[in-house]
Amino acid sequence: MQAMSLTERARREQIVSAAIEVLARNGHAATTFTRIARHAGLSSTGVISYHFADKQDLLAEVLTTTARVAGGHMGPRIEAASGHRGRLRARIESNVELLAVAPSHVRALREVLAASASGSAPGVEGDPAGLVSRVSTLEEGLRDGQRDGAFGAFDPAVMALAVTGAVDALVAVPLADPDEVRHRARELADVFDRATAPVRDPR
């Protein structure tokens, strides 16, 4: 594999950045090369095609980038948490709070994944950022917690989907006020804290 030149890398980042912006504002279906180029201040769509093999290729990099940003925020928060319950709470809270930190990234990510799932976009092959599989990662974590007695009895597959879906739903609503975002993050974490609690009546 050939290393990428500096200018090459800069251009790609510029384009990816514009694509994220457009995805967040206009949605996947309205994210065209023309609009991305205009947003990036480029004069033609040819530039994009020159730097990316495909639209799919561009979207894949959008996915990688947004995932990296998300990971940079969520990862440390999760690792700093202690215990299975703490980690679940940290995951949910930090995910929702992303909406205040990097709203465009969150919405762009949502758009790409949603389109990819719907099949309308050929989507992104091979789950390049490991993000499509965030459900299964979560599921595994829940299963581990159950084994250790930190969680009660429930179907981890269902719970993982529920958590993911609930986060996505909250994140889909644009919110300006960071305080409100933090409040919702905590609330949602509470919801699943109760839902995953071990049996409460040990009598």
Please report, as ranges, the residues that interact with a copy of itself according to CB under 8 A.
2, 25-31, 43, 111, 114-115, 117-121, 152, 154-155, 158-159, 161-170, 172-173, 183-184, 187-188, 190-192, 194-195, 197, 200
Task: Give the Cα separation of 69 and 95 in Å (integer).
Answer: 11
CB of 66 to DNA, least distance (A): 18
- Of the chain, the end-to-end C-alpha distance in Å amounts to 63
Residue written as token pair 């091979």: 126
CB of 36 to DNA, least distance (A): 8
45 lies in the site for DNA, by CB under 7 A: yes
Question: Do the Cβ atoms of 48 and 15 come closer than 8 Å?
Answer: yes
5 lies in the site for DNA, by CB under 7 A: yes
Binding flags for DNA, 16-35, as an x/- string (CB under 7 A)? --------------xxxxxx
Task: Give the Cα separation of 193 and 188 in Å (integer).
Answer: 8
CA dihedral for 129, 130, 133, 137, sign (positive or negative): negative
Stretch that binds DNA, among 6-14, 71-79, 102-110, 186-194 (CB under 7 A): 6-14
